[in-house]
Amino acid sequence: MSQPGTLERLEAIIAARRDADPDSSYVAMLNAKGLTKIAQKLGEEATETVIAALAQDEKALVGEAADLIFHLLVLLANKDIALAAVLAELDRREGMSGIAEKASRKSR
C-alpha cells in the first residue's frame, strides 16, 4: 500500500481539526464561521494567486498557490466532498480536450 501524498495528508489534518477548538485551530475557526467565510477566504486566495502570477513573482505565486489549495481542501471538507472525488473527476477528464470536456457539460 502506498503512502498518502501531501494532499491526502493535508486532507486528513483538516478533517481532524475541523471540530477542534476555534481558538486553537484555524481550520476549526473557519468552520465555526461557516461556509460563507470559507468560500470568501477561497476567493481571496484565488485573487491573491492571480495577482502574484501577474506580478511575475514566483516565490509569492508558490505561496499563494499553496494557500489556495489549502483553502480549497477546507471548503471541500466542509461540504463533505473527498479529495478522491475531485481526483477521480480529473482522471475522468484525462486525455480529453478541454474544449470537448466543457462542451460535454452542456449535455449533462
Which sequence spans correspond to the domains of the chain?
A: 6-81
Instruction: For domain 6-81, give the CATH number.
Output: 1.10.287.1080
CB atoms within 10 A of CB 21: 10
Listed as ranges, residues in the chain with pLDDT below 50 are: none
- What are the distances in angstroms from CA 66 to CA 23, 49, 86, 100? 23, 9, 17, 29
pLDDT of 49 reads: 98
pLDDT of 104 reads: 72
- The per-residue pLDDT for range 53-83, each reduced to its tens digit, is 999 999 999 999 999 999 999 999 999 999 9
pLDDT of 107 reads: 60
Residue closest to 71 by CA, chosen among 26, 104, 106: 26
